[in-house]
Amino acid sequence: MPDFNFVLLHVRDHVASATLYHALLGSPIVEQKADIAILPLRDGVMLGLWSSETVEPESTGLTGASELAFTVADANAVDRVHADWSRRGLTIVQAPTSMAFGTTFVACDPDGHRLRVFAPAAV
């Protein structure tokens, strides 16, 4: 089986998106070219932010149908991240709420990519 090591998001402005994700996640921008920026996530997985104008094959332009999810320690951490991302101007599409899998909220980046933050429910 091939190794999973990259998430690619098609974005309107890869420089602005890289700046945003750097601020949200604290990950350095390790590569920036004319049409793509790359940031490390965890466990060797990289986040690529590719200009939708140069993606090959051409991007469909559809956004919001998938999510990137990030875990935090507990419900208080969910609230703290929610407050921080709200202050940064991200669109919140789901306020902090308790669900079967834990406490969560969902924000969108400027391209409509959904960003879920959650604290798993205690087992």
pLDDT at 61 over 80: no
Q: How many domains does the chain have?
A: 2
Residue-number span of the structural domain to which 107 is assigned: 67-120
pTM of the model: 0.91
Residues 9-55 have pLDDT tens digits of: 999 999 999 999 999 999 999 999 999 999 999 999 999 999 999 99
Enter the tokens of residue 123: 């087992």
> Mean of the per-residue pLDDT values for the chain?
94
Which residue stretches of 1-123 are H helix? 14-25, 75-87
CATH of the domain at 16: 3.30.720.120
CB 46 within 8 A of CB 52: no
